[in-house]
Amino acid sequence: MRYRTLGRTGIQVSAYALGAMMFGAIGNPDHDDSVRIIRKALDAGINFVETADVYSNGESEEIVGKALAGRRDSVVLATKARGRLRAGSAIEGVDDPNRQGASRRWLVTAVEDSLRRLRTDYIDLYQIHRPDPETDVEETLSALSDLIHSGKVRAIGTSTMPASDMVEAQWVAEQRGLERFRTEQPPYSILNRGIEAEVLPVAQRYGMGILVWSPLAQGLLTGRVRKGQQGDLRRTAMFSHMRDERRLDIVEQIIPLAEQAGLPMTHLAMAFTVAHPGVTSAISGPRTMEQLDDLLAGADVTLTDDILDQIDKIVPPGTDVGQLDMAYRPPALLRPDLRRRPIDERGAA
């Protein structure tokens, strides 16, 4: 297993990280089997485990906590907060709107809940799961700084943060004397290369580690879904991006390239992401032991310049082919009122 320094933190992490999103109700509900998968990954040299409080509403963190019993100190443990969690309301049946976000009010509670579920007294990397436009970044950094100073968190990071917000957060941290974000976790794959334009260069400029998610494009780059075929995944709302003909057309061009290289599609796709000098680690979230075995089998694969050049011709650098279902879309793209002046200010047509 290859290891790399996580930004400028000095922490050494495996080039492939084990994502725990699929452990629990939304993926593998068998706790014992999930624990076996995690421990086999650790035995194979993966030392970086990444989860989030919202994965199966905390169940993923509970499973990870069980799996790390007795070997916590040899693992770099990352989790995330920001998404909305169910339960915990003082009034039965009422969904508390404050059980989410990046405010100090929620983060100081969320970290304690994660520590309890993970059965640990510190988190190596605590990340903000998605940008929170309702909370001032200074508020968030101030709360996270206190968590670092208290010893409950070692380093802090973000996920799917736009490059402009990354720069603002670094500036605020410097001006206010606060701890700064050390990592960013964006989506990245052969099909989604948009972060090469700004996010990766900005991260490199500030010495931030990059942990990429969905290197297999939510399953499209496994080769299991082909153009003209109606697989089960394509019939679900969660994987609506698999009905995007543009993405399927690219997959059909990548398959012969993988065959030419003598590699399974999954190995080609994973190796592509960690070939970029700005990427520290690629997160893969196996649901079964077979999927983990496939990940481990390709851990030492390195792509030649010729193969990378051919990928560049199929999907030009810095471009996205369609969009992942789970991709972050800023409020300015979702809310018409942020794109249109009030009628009385528009003037005559």
Q: How many Å apart are CA 312 and CA 259, to the nearest integer?
A: 17
Give the residues across from 158 on adjacent strands. Answer: 128, 184
Task: Yes or no: say if 140 and 107 are a contact pair by the CB < 8 Å rule.
Answer: yes
The three state secondary structure string of 200-232 is: HHHHHHCCCEEEEECCCHHHHHHCCCCCCCCCH
Tokens of 139: 């508020």
Residue type, 144: L
Cα 49–51–55 angle (5° rounding)? 150
d(CA 76, CA 62): 16
**Catalytic position from the list 16, 55, 126, 188:** 55
The count of other CB atoms within 10 Å of the CB of residue 61 is 28
Token pair recorded at residue 189: 């794959």
What is the DSSP code (8-state) at residue 285? -
Please state, in angstroms and as integers, the Cα–Cα distance from residue 134 to each residue in 98, 129, 327, following that order.
12, 14, 19
Q: Are 308 and 277 in contact (CB under 8 A)?
A: no
- Written as one letter, the residue type at 52 is A
Distance from C-alpha of 114 to C-alpha of 103, rounded to nearest angstrom? 16
Q: 320 in helix, strand or coil?
A: strand
Residue carrying the six token digits 């009010």 = 105
* Cα torsion through 16, 118, 179, 147, rounded to 10: 180
Q: Is 55 annotated as catalytic?
A: yes
Are residues 147 and 153 in contact, defined by beta-carbon separation less than 8 angstroms? yes
Active-site residue set: 55
